Chain A
Amino acid sequence: MLKGKKVIVFGERDDVPAPTIRACVEAAGAEVIAQATTCFV
């Protein structure tokens, strides 16, 4: 599903941050075009 897709990553500081998600989706063959880590407090 991810292979060849372009991904927008929204991580969460205290749950799963964006760099972690990015590493996973890039390893799955997707291209990350934007990412941000938010903090929902």
Chain B
Amino acid sequence: MKQLADEHGAASLVVVLGLNEPDRLRVLATTFRDGDPSYAGALGGIALGLPSYHVLELRDEVPAEVWSREMGMKELEIEDALAERIRATLSAVRGD
């Protein structure tokens, strides 16, 4: 991750996640933005400043036919309450 950020520039990078577990998403997104909070991994103390999004948050940017084909069934598997928790979790980590 650090190598990619150094190579491409953190300002132009975005992380998109597909995990449907808000607690684990929070840890991942915090790590990519602020560094590993446990200091146990390679990004311990290294803040890359990368914003993380769940693919569900990007629905409006994806052409409808592509979304329907790729995410149609996946979206049905996620309960509305869980989808909202996922959005809220990542929005909170991003600070927006």
Residues of A at under 8 Å CB distance from B?
Answer: 1-12, 15-18, 20-21, 23-25, 27-30, 33-34, 37-38, 40
Contact = CB atoms under 8 A, between A and B. Distances in A.
Interface of B: 1, 4, 8, 12-21, 24, 28, 50, 55, 58, 61-63, 66-67, 69-71, 74
A4 to B, nearest CB: 8
Per DSSP, are chain A's interface residues mostly helix, strand or loop, or mixed?
Answer: mixed
B55 A27 contact: no
A7 B13 contact: yes
B62 A28 contact: yes
B70 A23 contact: yes
A23 B66 contact: yes
A40 B62 contact: no
Contact of B58 (A4, A6, A25): A25
29 contacts: A1-B58, A2-B14, A2-B58, A2-B61, A5-B13, A7-B16, A8-B14, A8-B16, A10-B16, A10-B28, A12-B18, A15-B18, A15-B20, A16-B18, A16-B71, A20-B18, A21-B17, A21-B18, A24-B55, A24-B66, A24-B67, A24-B71, A25-B58, A25-B62, A27-B62, A29-B61, A33-B13, A40-B21, A40-B24
